Amino acid sequence: MLKNFKIGNINIEGGLCLGPMAGVSDLPFRHLCKEMGASLLVTEMVSAKAIYFKNKNTRSLMKTDKYEHPISLQLFGSDPDIIADMAASIEDGDFDIFDFNMGCPVPKIVNNGEGCALMKNPKLVEEILSKLVKSVKKPVTLKIRRGFDSESINAVDIAKIAENAGVSAVTVHGRTREQYYLGKADWDIIKDVKSAVNIPVIGNGDVADGESAKRMYEYTGCDGIMVARAARGNPWIFREIREYLTGYTVKKPSKEEIIEMILRHCRLQMEYDDEVMAVRKMRKHVAWYTHGMKNSSVLRDRVNHVERYDEIEELLRSIV
């Protein structure tokens, strides 16, 4: 039951997408998810204004690897001209697709009129997307939510605007900005968007395993599925969904496999950052990887004091 679809001329084989997560879906983590079966990767959010002002930290967010294709670079902003001009200025980068973010619920983004706040301004959305599509040759996709709040459920209208502007696919998260990540995702809105447009629709929200992925496909008719928070500490979720949808026995990772994945993740992180920074970044990942395991609370406490790879390895092998 795995699905294939196209974004412009880019083949998305298997239809399973890793969602962008600030501070999580960096290059090392994306690498592991790709190995485990993710079909399409998306970078962390990149600010169009930060590119314009040549922010030194932005370049690392845009770094990709040849192993990652197909991969989308996700932009956010609110100024149509800056977004279009900056997209054109980086189009020769080693990525395949531009994804524009209108789903981020974080206050500092929303309060700046960006992310999900844009869903309150359809005219501005139309201008942004039209100028962005015209400024680049690579396909453009869009990430939206159900609406900004329960009084403004307009994902269908925004998706139609996107299609008319030349956007090649749309991802729909079945929650409003008001909900953040609480409550149950509304799969009806994904189904409604799928019925309303002719471009591929990627469903997002409450897919945590193979069984829920199958239910989303069957209920909404979506072309692909995006997994985000459920992949934290669990890059195996893409393998699990693939196995479930193709009738194979689902293999859960063993304790030993989890430990080796954490250490491999850490080594990859050290190729991206210096050792101390890499280990510090790994602290939250260790908590996610080991959630629910024996002694995990002790591990979470102690891992916040390690600074070196050999310390994290010794800790894992002595406690888990």
The Cα–Cα gap between 179 and 96 comes to: 31
Task: State the pairing for strand pair 10-14/3-7.
Answer: antiparallel
Q: Are 185 and 155 in contact (CB under 8 A)?
A: no
The Cα–Cα gap between 217 and 125 comes to: 28
Q: Which of 17, 33, 104, 266 is catalytic?
A: 104
Tokens of 27: 């290059």
DSSP secondary-structure letter at 267? H
Determine the distance from the C-alpha atom of residue 21 to the mean position of all C-alpha atoms in its chain, rounded to a whole number.
Answer: 5
Known catalytic membership, residue 104? yes
The Cα–Cα gap between 166 and 235 comes to: 32
Pick from 159, 24, 11: which is nearest to 96 by CA? 11
| Residues identified as active-site | 104
